[in-house]
Amino acid sequence: MKRQGPQREIQPQPPPEYSVAYASHDVRLSWREWIVAAALVGAVLGLLPGQWERRERFQPGEDYRIPYELGNDYWLFGRYGRLACSQNKTLVIGDSVIWGHYVTKEHTLSHYLNAFTGEQRFANLGVDGIHPAALAGLLEYYGRGISNSRVILHCNPLWMASPEHDLQQAGKDFRLNHPALLPQLVGSPGCYTAPYSDRLGTCVERVAPFRNWARHLRAAYFENADLPEWTVRHPYDSPIQAVRRGLPSPGSRAQGSHLSWQARGIVEHDFPWVRLPTSLQWKSFQRAVRILRARGNRVFVLVGPFNEHMLEKASLATYTNRKGEIQDWLRQNDIPHYVPPALPSQYCADASHPLSEGYALLAAELLEQKSFIRFDTRPAGRRRPPPASAR
């Protein structure tokens, strides 16, 4: 009997009209259909942020300031700026000195300005850690709605107190604040070392409302995490419920203890001040002023006050020169300003942050300046006398 070899399995052949490239479960779009699909997706992504803004509850009350944990939520900053402008308020813009790092929201500069004028005329748009190089980017890309308004812009000399503060070099404990607001491709400081892939993504976010809105959702509702990461952290929580809880409460708590610099054990310091002509932060501050004025804003600059009591003699002399150079530039450019004297030593928390008594005194002095009275030309309400500690 002849042994048979292994039999080959016969594969069924598809009919002649059948094509593997066009299986029944495939959907192929023509180039026209791709254009329509792209237009629809673009329309949805473009409309979502605006629709969300209309539905998201945002009603800043008295002495509102952006919550500390939302300091990187530039979408919220832009929205608050537009709202304050629409309410004809004077915007007070700056870093943590304006935000009020060592005081509650009821003891900030804007609070005392409102209290002494008897009405809610001043809006606190301070952002913690927003050095001038970042502030210029914040105003240029996310503060477009701040226009045709009154703006008090704070100039903090601390950012020019050393090469590290001026972003000229990175020290041992250097931490770069708000890197997404810095120049990304041209003119970025040498201490900024992000890869170019991240820089390109940042550039896209500046011009794409959807990306900026997505950052807002992560910061406001999902602990600065993407949705998959957030669900891993909270496996039993619903993302929908997280959104329904609404925006975090305004930043009412102080971020530091209410102690003077001497009570903290801070000693006198010799700051290696940088020269203004070579200062990146000073050039950035000038750029911020130009951005605001180009949009029709009336700008008033508040310089300091710096805690001169903690400066060694040589450092104080250099600071006095820098302060004079800043004032000269403001005069040359016809910018109304106020350079206040140093606050009493016990009213200072550190090199640049006042305590509540310092804010009250500063507000009382500012309201009495002729340059400020001319700047704030609206009819003032009945002014309350400042507290005894502010006299």
Residue carrying structure tokens 């976010």: 205
Query: How many C-beta atoms lie closer than 10 Å to residue 389's C-beta?
Result: 13
| pLDDT number for residue 223 | 74
Residue carrying structure tokens 């609070």: 111
Average pLDDT of the segment spanning 344-351: 95
What is the DSSP code string of 233-255?
H-TTS-HHHHHHT-SPPP--S-S
Q: Report the alpha-carbon distance of residue 233 to residue 123 in Å, rounded.
A: 36
Residue carrying structure tokens 């000195």: 97
Q: Which two tokens stand for residue 167?
A: 């972003």
Whole-prediction pTM value?
0.83
**Helix 280-294 crosses helix 132-142 at what angle (to 10 degrees)?**
30
Beta strands in 307-346 (DSSP E): 337-338
| pLDDT number for residue 380 | 45
Please answer whether residues 103 and 167 qualify as being in contact, where contact means their C-beta atoms are separated by less than 8 angstroms: no
pLDDT in tens, 53-84: 667 777 888 999 999 988 889 989 999 999 99
Q: Report the alpha-carbon distance of residue 375 to residue 348 in Å, rounded.
A: 27
Average pLDDT of the segment spanning 194-205: 86
Most confident of 70-74, 115-119, 175-179: 115-119
What is the DSSP code string of 49-99?
HHHHHHHS-----TT----GGGTT-HHHHHHHHHHHHHTTPEEEEESHHHH
Average pLDDT of the segment spanning 182-204: 86
pLDDT in tens, 239-288: 777 777 777 777 667 777 888 999 999 999 999 999 999 999 999 999 99
DSSP 353: -
pLDDT in tens, 120-149: 999 999 999 999 999 999 999 999 999 999
CA count, 13 A, side-chain hemisphere, 265: 0
Please answer whether residues 133 and 167 qualify as being in contact, where contact means their C-beta atoms are separated by less than 8 angstroms: yes
pLDDT in tens, 351-388: 999 999 999 999 999 999 999 999 987 644 444 444 44
Greater pLDDT, 198 or 234: 198
